[in-house]
Amino acid sequence: MNIAVCVKQIPDPATPYELDSENHWVIRPNDQVLDDTDRVGIEVGLQLAEASEGTVTLFSMSPSGTLQGIRQALAMGADKAVLIDDESLKGADALTTARILSAAVQREGYDLVIAGTESTDGFTGVVPQMMSEILDVPCLSFARKVETADGLVTIERQTSSGYETVTSPLPAVLAVTAGAEEPRYPTFKGIMQAKSKPVDNTTAAELGIEPTSGQTITAAEPVTARAAGDVIEDDGEAYLKIIELLEELKVI
């Protein structure tokens, strides 16, 4: 099975990102990390590829920087990566991102496209769905469990009250939740091999996509944060503070 996994390099979530003052775009440092939630999609892809003697190709649209995040993904075992690092894609919206990734995936060929549910820096959460429409395939979203057999992929799809079992022919787009698999840790060998795995660069123009957007961010303002209240160290009696507060609020 030929598996495409969409991954994203993001600013380290431990240090909250900033927006540039002119366009309100995320300032992307040279050193970006692999979005942790992408590890799950990579794991699902690796398992499916291992079972079918297939390949896993990573697709990522972002400034490459030091490629730290991409190497982290390759170190898990993915075979190669296709990057779209293009100045004209700075500040691209979800639809442009989906068009670019779809064109790249289509050019390389695929049986299954795997993505996370939403990125940790953007949280738009619609790129897999947009890709499925562009590629004209089913969208198996919010998948918490994935199985394949006889050319069909079957998932447990989260719903507000539980889950539903959904079966689909291939090709398809699959968007997984972090519960779908426990991602493997890269081995030392994997980390060493990742340094020499092929990373192809392409551009929007080469993919025949002209970035457009029907929306513009006109302002970005800090939200007045909730004021932090009292923080106390538990000395064995801290529970009394909770009881007092619940009384004061007339909850009890």
Q: Residue 206 or 244: which CB sits closer to another protein? A: 244
Distance CA 83, CA 57 (A): 10
Q: State the amino acid at position 58 in one-letter form.
A: L
Q: Residue 81 or 139: which CB sits closer to another protein? A: 139
Among 49, 101, 137, 209, which residue interacts with another protein (rule: CB under 8 A)?
137
Does 183 bind another protein (CB under 8 A)? Our answer is no
Stretch that binds another protein, among 2-10, 58-66, 184-192, 219-227 (CB under 8 A): 219-227
Among 22, 87, 150, 221, which residue interacts with another protein (rule: CB under 8 A)?
221
Distance CA 39, CA 44 (A): 9
* x/- map, 99-118, another protein, by CB under 8 A: ------------------xx
Q: Residue 88 or 124: which CB sits closer to another protein? A: 124
Distance of CA 53 to the CA centre of its chain: 25
Among 6, 58, 89, 127, which residue interacts with another protein (rule: CB under 8 A)?
127
DSSP 123: -
SS3 sequence of 69-114: HHHHHHHCCCCEEEEECCHHHCCCCHHHHHHHHHHHHHHHCCCEEE
Does 177 bind another protein (CB under 8 A)? Our answer is yes
Does 240 bind another protein (CB under 8 A)? Our answer is yes
We find the least distance from the C-beta atom of residue 47 to another protein, in angstroms, to be 17
* Residue from 161, 117, 109 nearest 142 by CA: 117
Does 195 bind another protein (CB under 8 A)? Our answer is no
Does 138 bind another protein (CB under 8 A)? Our answer is yes
Collapse the DSSP code of 65 into the 3-class scheme (helix H, G, I; strand E, B; otherwise coil) and give the result.
coil
Residue numbers 33-92 binding another protein by CB under 8 A: none
**Buried/exposed 97-119: b ≥16 CB within 10 Å, e otherwise:** bbbbbbbbbeebebbbbbbbbbb
Neighbouring CB atoms inside 10 A of 92's CB total 22
Stretch that binds another protein, among 64-72, 74-82, 198-206, 234-242 (CB under 8 A): 234-242
Among 15, 53, 87, 161, which residue interacts with another protein (rule: CB under 8 A)?
161
Distance CA 68, CA 74 (A): 10
Among 53, 136, 149, 196, which residue interacts with another protein (rule: CB under 8 A)?
136
